[in-house]
A and B are shown apart, each in its own frame.
Chain A
Amino acid sequence: MIEPVALEDFFITFFSSALIILAGAGYALLFSWSKVNPSIRIKIAAYVSYAVLVLAVAVLTRAAHFQGYWLIISVLMAVGYFFAPIGIWHLCVKTHAGSNLKNNNNNNNNNRG
């Protein structure tokens, strides 16, 4: 059984839900950017974004009265948003491997020439 959000938690429910997606995307963006452009500042910013996400998940969990198996959603969001960008980054590297190899070979050939 679900328990609807309380009147006083109306705004915080919308806000925390939106923040989860925004902070999740922010973390994904900064994480992948830190891979393209290795920088400790970007990496820290990525983890700060992830911390915001975890906080937003905790607030939503309280406001939306997640209890029992509904807590799985909170855990899934906290864990899933952390690992999804890492997994997708590896997929990007693997799927582009041939292309990068080709580009590198072209560059090497150009250098030799």
Chain B
Amino acid sequence: MNTSGLNEAAQKAAALCEKSRACVNDFKAWVQLDSRNLSDGQQLAVKYFIVAVILFFAQILFGLLAATQFIFPGFLYEILDFSVNRMIHINAMIVWMLYGFIGCVYWFLEEESGTEIVGLKLGNIAFWVLTAAVTLVVLVYLLVQIGPGKDSSLWFINEGREYIEAPRWADIGIVVVMLIFFYNVVATFSKGKWSGIAGVLTLDLVALAGLYTAGMFYMTNITHEQYWWWWVIHLWVEATWEVLVGVIMAWSLMKLLGVRRKIVQTWLYIEVALMFGSGILGLGHHYFWIGTPEYWLTIGGFFSALEPIPLVAMVVHAVYDSGSHALKSGNHPALAWIIAQAFGNFFGAGVWGFMHTLPQINLYTHGTQWSASHGHLAFFGAYATINIAFFYLAIQHWRGDVWMGGGSQNAWRWKWALGLLNGGVLGMTIALLIAGYEQSFIERAVEGSTWGGYFTAQNHPSFQSAMIWRLFFGGMTFAGFILLVWDLLTIGKGETRKAPEIIES
């Protein structure tokens, strides 16, 4: 290329940069968000929230592609295979929720500790490193879809372990980022002041970083291999994430409803004790069919029956609170999403979980669409909802603590987004439940898990109808997501009334 060609390319690049900058400025002028309302820690939290929303979009997009391939198996065949779509769908979900949780903690860290974040610069570097790594991992998933399973592919392309497919370098990176996050939390609380919430959070982060390492080594025996893999899948997600949600919920309830700190912290301890008491050995329900000793059938069965107890506690406490305190809040969308969390967690984890957890029935349902049905409602109900509630808390503060209660402008948007997202996920859950029932009955019970049984079940009219309905409700979820993003960007714009200051009751 000659000098004039280079100059031309440089001019084009400069013009493109200028255009992008102008677009960003136009967007900033349109959303009218004032970052001066945010502390340094909250500005870091907002970065995590933005990436979380982008990954939420990726989760839904790749989920829709995979759902389409269930109906039209030739769709994008050898261009974007089902295995890749499913993998990105699930990985994006795990990572966006993690981004959301980290963002939530950075959001309240300074206020809770009463001091500035100690390693803010380190936190910012960790954010960019993690985001670059996630982008690179997804690009590699898309560009290298098939290939030999060698040591090098394990390190650089795909680890090949369901749900935690990230290559080994990324695994190490995730643990390093978690350790930086852990350091920031502990050092900030140590510099400022400790609280019950701070103590539970710190202990939980030890488990959050530590348990992930259980998915980073291989064993030659498949039973041993699966034994440790479940530590990441069950204990990481069902124990440490639940506690993290408890911490976020505790802080949100103080800010949203003015619940007294002493009450919130006491109940946080009770919930953590109930969740760990039933949840840790509830792990047993994953050990039923992987070659572990028979006593796991009993342990898994017993502790699975205990797992709904924290949910019953939640019901009683909610009624007590509604009877003794009027639920008045200046942020209706956040409150509505927290109520959605209570219902989603109860039905998704409690009802859908217990329906197929006892080994006498799990023999047939394990790993069928029944599990997918439970997974959709439980993950959305327990984790997505609390993140979305927090997004609304953050946007309210970002706009300068404006009124977002009754009589707000364009309130239909958040109500419709809430309805479409919850209705969409519930619809997918019911559709997958029907598919799972049919699959576990025909493929597993009648035909004894044979290939013939598998194809009979997959081609059964009720299974195929269920898959069409799943795609329809996936589309509804996508519509809800678009409306949610629109609402998050515009809610409170032009609102002049201030939200009342919430003080502890």
- Residues of chain A having any CB pair with chain B under 8 Å: 1-5, 7, 10-11, 13-14, 17-18, 20-22, 24-25, 28-29, 31-33, 35-37, 64-65, 69-70, 72-73, 76-77, 80-81, 84-85, 88-89, 91-93, 95-96, 98-100, 102-103
CB of B313 closer than 8 Å to a CB of A:
yes
Instruction: Assess the B358–A17 pair: CB atoms within 8 A.
Output: yes
- Residues of A contacting B267 with CB < 8 Å? 95
- Residues of B contacting A65 with CB < 8 Å? 360
With contacts A32-B316, A36-B323 known, is A99 near B437, CB below 8 A?
no
With contacts A14-B355, A18-B354, A64-B361 known, is A84 near B305, CB below 8 A?
no
Q: Which of B296-304, B402-410, B413-421 contacts A (4 or more CB under 8 A)?
A: B296-304
Instruction: Assess the A33–B319 pair: CB atoms within 8 A.
Output: yes
The residue from B350, B441, B446 contacting A25, defined by CB atoms under 8 A apart? B350
With contacts A2-B360, A95-B263, A96-B320 known, is A32 near B294, CB below 8 A?
no
- Residues of B contacting A24 with CB < 8 Å? 308, 312
- Residues of B contacting A96 with CB < 8 Å? 263, 320, 324
Q: How far is the CA of A93 from the CA of B359 in the complex (A)?
A: 38
With contacts A7-B446, A36-B320 known, is A21 near B309, CB below 8 A?
no
How many B residues have CB within 8 A of the partner chain?
A: 45
With contacts A7-B445, A33-B319 known, is A99 near B309, CB below 8 A?
no
Q: By DSSP majority rule, is chain A's interface helix, strand, loop, or mixed?
A: helix
Instruction: Assess the B355–A25 pair: CB atoms within 8 A.
Output: no
B370 to chain A, nearest CB (A): 9
CB of B315 closer than 8 Å to a CB of A:
yes
With contacts A14-B355, A21-B350, A95-B263 known, is A31 near B316, CB below 8 A?
yes
CB of B346 closer than 8 Å to a CB of A:
yes
Instruction: Assess the A2–B355 pair: CB atoms within 8 A.
Output: no
Instruction: Assess the A4–B317 pair: CB atoms within 8 A.
Output: no
Instruction: Assess the A1–B294 pair: CB atoms within 8 A.
Output: yes
Nearest opposing residue in chain B for A64, CB measure: B360
CB of B311 closer than 8 Å to a CB of A:
yes
The residue from A36, A70, A81 contacting B301, defined by CB atoms under 8 A apart? A70
Binary flags per residue of B345-370, CB closer than 8 Å to A gives 1, else 0: 01000110011111111011000000
CB of B290 closer than 8 Å to a CB of A:
no
Instruction: Assess the B312–A73 pair: CB atoms within 8 A.
Output: no
With contacts A18-B355, A31-B316 known, is A84 near B309, CB below 8 A?
yes
CB of B497 closer than 8 Å to a CB of A:
no
Q: How far is the CA of A13 from the CA of B317 in the complex (A)?
A: 30
Nearest opposing residue in chain A for B317, CB measure: A92
Instruction: Assess the B360–A13 pair: CB atoms within 8 A.
Output: yes
A32 to chain B, nearest CB (A): 4
B8 to chain A, nearest CB (A): 68
CB of B121 closer than 8 Å to a CB of A:
no
CB of B266 closer than 8 Å to a CB of A:
yes
CB of B150 closer than 8 Å to a CB of A:
no
Instruction: Assess the B315–A73 pair: CB atoms within 8 A.
Output: no
Instruction: Assess the B441–A91 pair: CB atoms within 8 A.
Output: no
Instruction: Assess the B363–A4 pair: CB atoms within 8 A.
Output: yes
Nearest opposing residue in chain A for B267, CB measure: A95
Instruction: Assess the B309–A18 pair: CB atoms within 8 A.
Output: no
Instruction: Assess the A17–B363 pair: CB atoms within 8 A.
Output: no
The residue from A14, A80, A81 contacting B356, defined by CB atoms under 8 A apart? A14
Nearest opposing residue in chain A for B262, CB measure: A98
With contacts A21-B351, A95-B263 known, is A5 near B315, CB below 8 A?
no
